Amino acid sequence: MSNTLGTGQALLPTYMLLAASLCLNALANFTIKLAVQGRTLRLDPAHLAETLKGMALNPLLWGGVILFGLALVGYSVVLSRMNLSTAYPVMAGGGFLLVFLLSALYLKEAITPAHLGGALCIVFGMWLLLR
């Protein structure tokens, strides 16, 4: 695939849709974390029904599922216009960075030097792919 879409349009709208999709995906993960935080979910046969019922009745969990669905729609459009070898690393790396920030700011998860180094490597890798 080239740097333009089949109709000659610039890739900017596709990049914007990719950014929106990765934000929705990251927010879905964050929302699901909020939905299950502080709960003990068990998949053993004795507790499976209780776990599934609790999940099915959790509005935050459903919010995360809806956000995942919206991300899937946008990302599918992106994949119809962009190479997978570019789109996927940006989707995964950008999603990681956003989840990293949300987790540190709102969930008070620790940021280690290894996390920071990894985040910088991801930013550099995304820059290389998108230039």
Rounded percentage of the chain residues whose pLDDT exceeds 70 = 92
Stated pTM of the model: 0.83
Indicate the domain borders of the chain: 12-130
Q: What is the pLDDT of residues 103-122, one digit of tens each?
A: 999 999 999 999 999 999 99
Contact 12, 78 (CB under 8 A): no
Question: Which tens digit of pLDDT belongs to each residue from 7-30?
Answer: 545 678 999 999 999 999 999 999
**3-class state of residue 4 by DSSP:** strand
